[in-house]
């Protein structure tokens, strides 16, 4: 059956997070965003996850200011704010009053579309984020995080979808951060979800780590998915998403209606290719299928970063040993989903286990506090089971935590006002809640975001600037032809 299929663009958020280490600046977006705005997407993914954190720590750009700037040049399409639920943009849980204030500021800064998720699919951690966002008029599409394991069955995901719907979300997106979905699983999982969702729309957000995503999204649509997340071609493939252009063409070839104008998308692609060449950044390329990926499930960017870190630790050549151990650690810890922060926790524990084994020590001899807190239930519900002996070894016999994690965090707004205020705005208060004094101060001292980028100039000015940067050119002669007489006089 042919249907009307919508697309969500992830170029300005998740795509460059995957391929450019989250280093796309606001200036780079200025000339691209209006073109994506005209293309007809359901929404455009802008800020969230690592983007917020990298902006503050490395780019020295105020994320709230980026929201306001892009809201002025994207006028037709809702902009998405993407969060880790009760953790918002970091690895720690925040108090309910901070989460509620964040929702208010999302709306105040022009965000109209919110996509929260919880890394463990514990929907208690989405209760406050969803209800607060709805109260401030945001369209809320809650995330259901996909993984591959014996305990993450179709029945598990259907049950979690019911829990998510009970919170009052406007839609659900199936978040496959490591590109683990295969066509045969789509054939059973999507119908199971649609059976409990009724008329509520289902979106698919899957990466190309395994090389299967461009075909998987087509099959997902055949089985009932209504919205597909895609990226503009230069920032697609690799460990990013399927290309907007290819998905649109393939869906139309199958008879579906996709109301996307590919002309402005092509213009955005040309500009992204220009930026990539100018900045020395990579262009996404299709990946080969690797069965080992389904064992460790680590995202591609994390694997490359891990290889570099191991080399700096004197563990060259041990990457596969660490990834092999990661698959076993994940199983023993009850199959946590390999997304942040648990991806980092699993890999850290795996490194410690391998290094300990090299010295003749038993596994889990050294355990990070974060892993200990996870095992106790401090981040939420654990999908699988943990051997009682391993539980006791890791937690030192501590009682499990059964409360909603956010409820255990004391209110913070008044304390922040008393200890670190006064603040010029609630936006600044939230930045202070997320970051220490040094990081906060450095961001504020950086001043307003610079929005001028060479690409944003006229083609002539861009050409002249490019020539001026060439050491081998001393002079040049410019002749402009075919102008009307009044312009050549």
Note down pLDDT in tens along the chain; length 489 residues: 789 999 999 999 999 999 999 999 999 999 999 999 999 999 999 999 899 999 999 999 999 999 999 999 999 999 999 999 999 998 899 999 999 999 999 999 999 999 999 999 999 999 999 999 999 999 999 999 999 999 999 999 999 999 999 999 999 999 999 999 999 999 999 999 999 999 999 999 999 999 999 999 999 999 999 999 999 999 999 999 999 999 999 999 999 999 999 999 999 999 999 999 999 999 999 999 999 999 999 987 788 778 888 888 888 889 999 999 999 999 999 999 999 999 999 999 999 999 999 999 999 999 999 999 999 999 999 999 999 999 999 999 999 999 999 999 999 999 999 999 999 999 999 999 999 999 999 999 999 999 988 654 545 566 666 677 677 777 777 666 554 444 433
Interaxial angle between packed helices 426-434 and 96-108, expressed in degrees from 0 to 180 and rounded to the nearest 10: 130
The two three-digit tokens of residue 45, written as one number:
């993914």
What's the token pair of residue 332? 């023993």
pLDDT of residue 482: 55
Q: Record the pTM.
A: 0.90
Residue intervals of the chain classified under CATH 3.20.20.70 are: 6-279
Residues of the chain with CATH 1.10.472.90: 293-405
Rounded Cα–Cα distance for residues 46 and 251 (Å): 25
Domain 6-279 has CATH 3.20.20.70: yes
Please give the CATH number for the structural domain made up of 293-405. 1.10.472.90
Helix axes 388-395 and 369-376, enclosed angle (nearest 10): 130
Nearest to 116 by CA among 132, 101, 137: 132
Angle between helices 413-420 and 96-108 in degrees, nearest 10: 80
């Amino acid at each position: 059956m042919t249907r009307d299929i919508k697309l969500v663009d992830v170029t300005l958020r998740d795509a460059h997070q995957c391929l450019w280490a989250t280093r796309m600046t606001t200036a780079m977006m200025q000339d691209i965003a209006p073109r994506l705005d005209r293309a007809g997407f359901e929404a455009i993914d802008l800020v969230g996850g690592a983007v917020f954190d990298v902006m503050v720590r490395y780019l020295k750009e105020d994320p709230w200011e980026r929201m306001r700037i892009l809201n002025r040049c994207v006028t037709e399409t809702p902009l998405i704010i993407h969060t880790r639920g009760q953790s918002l943009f970091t690895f720690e849980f925040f108090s309910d009053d901070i989460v509620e204030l964040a929702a208010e500021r999302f709306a105040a800064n022009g965000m109209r579309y919110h996509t929260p998720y919880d890394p463990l699919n514990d929907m208690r951690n989405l209760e406050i984020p969803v209800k607060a966002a709805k109260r401030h008029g945001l369209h809320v599409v809650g995330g259901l995080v996909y993984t591959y394991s014996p305990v993450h069955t179709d029945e598990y995901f259907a049950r979690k979808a019911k829990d998510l719907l009970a919170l009052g979300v406007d839609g659900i997106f199936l978040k496959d951060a490591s590109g683990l979905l295969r066509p045969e699983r789509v054939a059973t999982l999507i119908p199971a979800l649609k059976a409990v969702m009724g008329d509520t729309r289902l979106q698919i957000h899957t990466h190309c780590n395994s090389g299967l995503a461009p075909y998987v999204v087509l099959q997902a649509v055949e089985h009932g998915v209504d919205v597909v997340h895609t990226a503009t071609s230069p920032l697609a493939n690799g460990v990013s998403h399927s290309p907007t252009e290819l998905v649109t063409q393939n869906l139309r070839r199958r008879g579906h209606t996709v109301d996307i104008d590919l002309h402005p998308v092509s213009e955005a692609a040309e500009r992204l290719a220009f930026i990539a060449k100018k900045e020395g950044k990579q262009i996404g390329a299709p990946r080969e299928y690797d069965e080992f990926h389904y064992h460790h499930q680590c995202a591609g960017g994390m694997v490359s970063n891990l290889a570099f870190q191991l080399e700096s630790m004197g563990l060259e050549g041990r990457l596969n040993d660490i990834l092999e151990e990661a698959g076993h650690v994940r199983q023993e810890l009850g199959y946590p989903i390999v997304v942040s922060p648990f991806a980092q926790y699993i890999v850290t524990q795996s490194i410690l286990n391998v290094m300990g084994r090299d010295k003749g020590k038993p596994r889990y001899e050294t355990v990070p506090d974060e892993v200990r807190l996870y095992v106790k239930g401090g981040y939420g519900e654990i999908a699988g089971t943990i051997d009682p002996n391993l539980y006791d070894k890791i937690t030192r016999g501590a009682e499990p935590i059964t409360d909603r994690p956010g409820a255990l965090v004391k209110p913070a707004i008044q304390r922040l006002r008393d200890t670190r205020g006064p603040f010029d705005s609630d936006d600044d208060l939230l930045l202070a809640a997320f970051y220490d004094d040094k990081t906060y101060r450095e961001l504020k001292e950086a001043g307003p975001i610079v929005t001028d980028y060479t690409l944003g100039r006229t083609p002539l000015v861009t050409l002249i600037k490019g020539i001026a940067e060439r050491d081998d050119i001393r002079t040049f002669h410019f002749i402009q032809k075919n102008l009307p007489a009044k312009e050549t006089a």
